[in-house]
């Protein structure tokens, strides 16, 4: 198995989780709402757990875990900052921005699972599927809160 291709695939997931951490840390600073701060902390923790597993696997393979973020992540953070600036404490708009970011994370996980199965081991695929399930749960929680805020 080609370790570099595996490392590259895993680093795609590292980057999107870096995006989530940075995005939710930014969102937490922007909101005054205690319950949104708690939500953003939870969402950050999911990605920190994912990052711990992914970085360990990249290191085990002899690679260097990605430290940066993706271009789409930068767009997500800028878009979220703009939305917060324009809407203030508009809970529905904040949660809609969060759901957009959650969609991007799920798309990245789906892409890796669909495009890189030939370079990932069974254990790596299991780890990625579990992480995707955790992200799906976060996404659904954000969507439920957003729908309630917009109702």
Q: Where are the domains of the chain?
A: 3-150
Predicted local confidence at residue 19, as pLDDT:
86
Q: End-to-end alpha-carbon separation of the chain, Å? A: 51
User: 14 with 55: CB under 8 angstroms?
Assistant: yes
97-122 pLDDT, tens digit per residue, is 888 889 989 999 999 999 999 999 99
Give the C-alpha separation, 131 to 125, whole Å. 10
Band the pLDDT of 68: cuts 50, 70, 90: confident
Given pLDDT bands bounded at 50, 70 and 90, which one contains residue 86? very low
Q: What's the rounded Cα separation, in Å, for the pair 145 and 65?
A: 33
Q: CATH class for domain 3-150?
A: mainly alpha
Percent of the chain with pLDDT over 90: 61
Is-contact 18 69, C-beta < 8 A?
yes
**DSSP tag of 119:** G
HSE on the CB side for 114, CA within 13 Å?
6
Say what percent of the chain tops pLDDT 70. Answer: 86
């Amino acid at each position: 198995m080609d370790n570099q291709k595996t490392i590259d695939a895993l680093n795609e997931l590292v980057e999107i989780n870096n995006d989530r951490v940075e995005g939710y840390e930014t969102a937490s600073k922007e909101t005054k709402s205690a319950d949104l701060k708690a939500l953003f902390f939870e969402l950050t923790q999911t990605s920190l757990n994912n990052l711990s597993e992914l970085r360990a696997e990249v290191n085990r393979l002899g690679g260097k875990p990605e430290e940066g973020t993706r271009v789409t992540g930068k767009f997500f953070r800028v878009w979220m900052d703009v939305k917060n600036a324009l809407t203030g404490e508009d809970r529905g708009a904040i949660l809609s921005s969060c759901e957009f970011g959650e969609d991007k994370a799920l798309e990245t996980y789906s892409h890796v699972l669909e495009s890189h199965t030939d370079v990932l081991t069974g254990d790596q695929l299991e780890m990625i599927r579990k992480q995707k399930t955790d992200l799906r749960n976060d996404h659904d929680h954000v969507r439920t809160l957003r729908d309630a805020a917009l109702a």
